Copies of this chain bind each other. A is one copy, B any other.
Amino acid sequence: MAVTDVADPFDMSLAAISKHLTILTRAGLISQEKRGRVKWCKLEPDAMRNASIWMQSFGQFEAVNLDAFEQFLKQELQD
């Protein structure tokens, strides 16, 4: 999907969409390939795998274990 196609349904400037797509690319959620003057964007299927796995574990601990949660967050912040 081209950048202008992504932008089409939104009531905001192309420059703003371009900014968002840059962030999504940097986050690894989408990838972009330039062919001619058009940049083609596509989703990266595995991009949220780790986040999804982490979310599935959310709450698996006993409520008392916010310590474990905090440790996890610290570790994630270090990454």
A55-B51 in contact (CB<8A): yes
The residue that A48 contacts in the complex, of B55, B61, B74, with Cβ under 8 A, is B55
A78 adjacent to chain B (CB < 8 Å): no
**Could you tell me the distance between the alpha carbons of A74 and B59 in the complex, rounded to whole angstroms?**
28
Number of A residues contacting the other chain (C-beta, 8 Å)? 28
CB contacts (< 8 Å) of A66 on chain B: these are 1, 5-6, 41-43
Please state if A60 and B45 are interface contacts (CB–CB under 8 Å). Answer: yes
Write the A49-65 contact mask toward B (1 if CB under 8 angstroms, else 0): 10110011011110110
Which A residues form the contact surface with B (CB < 8 A)? Answer: 1, 5-6, 9, 41-49, 51-52, 55-56, 58-61, 63-64, 66-67, 69-70, 74
